Amino acid sequence: MAVLVLLVPVSLGLGLLGLAAFLWTLRTRQYDDPEGDAARILSDRWDDRPAPPDPVRDTPPAPDEEKRR
């Protein structure tokens, strides 16, 4: 029970540190991408149909792999 005296402040401190880091990223506009948005709006790639399937990612697993799962 005495270990909670240490763990609670440490966990609160880490949570506040994470919150501060997140707020810093918002304040410094880390999530803004105006150049990418401008390029994507002018591109007609994939407008009329979805992207083709990725042969590496969309390959079904081998029969012996299914047994191992």
pLDDT tens by residue, 14-58? 999 999 999 999 999 888 887 877 777 777 766 666 667 777 776
Contact 66, 60 (CB under 8 A): no
Q: How far apart are CA 5 and CA 3, in angstroms?
A: 5
pLDDT of 65 over the 60 cut: no
pTM exceeds 0.95 for this model: no
Domain borders along the chain are 1-67
3-state secondary structure of 25: helix
Q: How far apart are CA 41 and CA 4, in angstroms?
A: 53
